[in-house]
Structure 1
Amino acid sequence: METDNPGSAPAIKKLKILLAEDDKINQKLFSYMLNDIADELLIASTGVEAINLYEEHSDIDLILMDLKMPEMDGFEAVKNIRKLDKVVKIFALSAFAPETQSEIVNGNDFNDYVSKPIRKADLLKIIGEYF
């Protein structure tokens, strides 16, 4: 991947991203961290809202899905989104560390896992592995 300047994170194409996160502070934090790579950032505060936004914007490149949200948790929301799209990249977001990350990813339709809190450079590195 190309970089804009030496020592910077890999250049990532501009992405249409859906952030499903109910915590307003985390919404602002992720918005800041994704600012350089997001062509468009859609924010959902519930699992139901995430599904509705995905149905309205099926050209989303990446979904960052919090696991614990009101109305419908991230696991259930992802199952519903996967009925519509088997290919879109979906990363689980959680502040609760599982015994292993593979417990979250395997069998739950997630492509990867991001543990909160996360540093911007680490988030961009994980995203860069897919785009």
Structure 2
Amino acid sequence: MAQSRHAVEKEQSTKITALVVDDNRINRTIHRRLLSNLGIENEVVGSGKEAVDAHCSGKKFDLILMDMEMPIMNGIEATRKLREMGNRSMIAGVSSRSMEEDIQEFIEAGLDDYQEKPLTMSKLISLIRKISLNG
């Protein structure tokens, strides 16, 4: 794992920040730990509305890991809203849903990437590399 972290840190020219958006406490903890193990500063929120509120408060993130199914405001609505508000973060949908029409609706809302749960270190490193290449 140290080698993976070193490889990612080497690719980062600046510190990458991430927001984990998931209503499931266990998923939030897992995603937060994966990010922390890569040296990525991160915050967690429990709904799409909280993600939109974080953006409204002026917080900026390089990566947003967005769950699809959440109460109050789901990931599709939150992604669409964030894009309408001009958010340019990489938004990666992370969901256990595998129905093609659900995934397609999520992507059309403004996702940059979609990963099926569980999120693994290799999937996360792939996302970070895309940020590094585009940044």
**Aligned-partner SS, 2:131:** coil
Question: How many residues are paired up?
Answer: 126
**TM-score using structure 1 length:** 0.82
**2:128 corresponds to:** 127
Greater alpha carbon shift after TM alignment, 120-129 vs 20-29: 120-129
* Aligned-partner Cα distance in 2 for 1:98–1:127: 26
Runs of 5+ in structure 1 lacking a partner?
none
Note the C-alpha offset of 1:104.
4.7
2:76 counterpart of 1:80: no
- Which structure 1 residue ranges, 4+ long, deviate > 3 Å from structure 2? 8-12
1:16-40 Cα distance to aligned partner (Å, 9 max, x none): 111101100011100110012313x
Q: Is the 8 A contact 1:104 1:110 kept in 2?
A: no
**Aligned-partner SS, 1:85:** coil
- Give 1:15-54 correspondences, 5 Å limit: 15-35=16-36, 36-39=38-41, 41-54=42-55
**1:65 corresponds to:** 66
**Aligned-partner SS, 1:130:** helix
Runs of 5+ in structure 2 lacking a partner?
none
2:108 counterpart of 1:107: yes
1:56-86 Cα distance to aligned partner (Å, 9 max, x none): 2342111111010010110101111112225
Query: Using a 3 Å threshold, how does the CA distance of structure 1 residues 104 and 93 change in structure 2: closer, same or farther?
Result: farther
* Aligned-partner Cα distance in 2 for 1:31–1:25: 10
Q: Is the 8 A contact 1:66 1:93 kept in 2?
A: yes
1:103-130 Cα distance to aligned partner (Å, 9 max, x none): 2554220000011012212221232122
Partner amino acid for 2:114?
A: Y
**TM-score using structure 2 length:** 0.80
Q: Is the 8 A contact 2:76 2:106 kept in 1?
A: no
RMSD: 2.4
